[in-house]
Amino acid sequence: MMKDLLANSNFKAIEPDVRADSVDDPKLGIWRQCDDREYTDFDIDPKTFYGGLEQLGAPPYRYYRIELDNNPKNGPEDLIYHEHIVEHPSNTLTGYTWVNLKKCEIMDNFIVEGSANWSEKPDAAYLNTLVYYKRKLWILDFVDGFDLHLSRRIDRSSMDICRWRLYLPN
């Protein structure tokens, strides 16, 4: 995998359909349709109810319409990137959340490092993006001075992870 990454072979970056720096950005209007709803309006578990972007995390937001359920016949699914809310770090996470917006239901979460101060570098870069590697969806997560890893959800309870540790020379 690393040889392919370095050669830019078998990898394809996935660009978001929308980038937004505010929950009120009109381009994210579809994500507001659950704001005035309750989990009792749907036949879903209250723990998986999606009540709005603020529940997931803070901007910047990146919205993707991509295939997630391996059923192309029903069309692409809705996925959004969000960062943890500093004031509520235990309630929100940095990562990607797959939401069924018709049912206001959170289908899955894909957590990334975010800017969690993993690096010893004071000005470290924290980058992540979605990529296809050999036609499978992966999250590429880079923490300057700490690690680079790619992860892919296999099912609800297991993942493939390829990780390379990065250390600063002494």
- pLDDT tens track for 46-79: 899 998 998 898 899 999 999 998 899 999 999 9
Structure tokens at 9: 């072979």
Domain coordinates of the chain in residue numbers?
2-165
Instruction: Give the per-residue pLDDT at 144.
Output: 83
Among residues 1, 21, 12, which one has the least CA distance to residue 135?
12
Dihedral sign of CA atoms 41, 43, 48, 53 in order: negative
Taking residues 133-145, report their average pLDDT. 89
Residue 88's SS3 state is coil
Distance (Å, whole) CA 129 – CA 44: 30
Taking residues 85-91, report their average pLDDT. 66
- The average confidence (pLDDT) of the chain is 87
Specify which of 16-20, 34-38, 55-59 reaches the highest per-range mean pLDDT.
16-20
User: Could you give the angle at the alpha carbon of 70 between the alpha carbons of 66 and 73, nearest 5°?
Assistant: 80
Taking residues 110-124, report their average pLDDT. 70
User: Could you give the angle at the alpha carbon of 81 between the alpha carbons of 7 and 100, nearest 5°?
Assistant: 115
Distance (Å, whole) CA 60 – CA 63: 10
Taking the model in full, what pTM does it have?
0.85
Instruction: Give the per-residue pLDDT at 169.
Output: 62
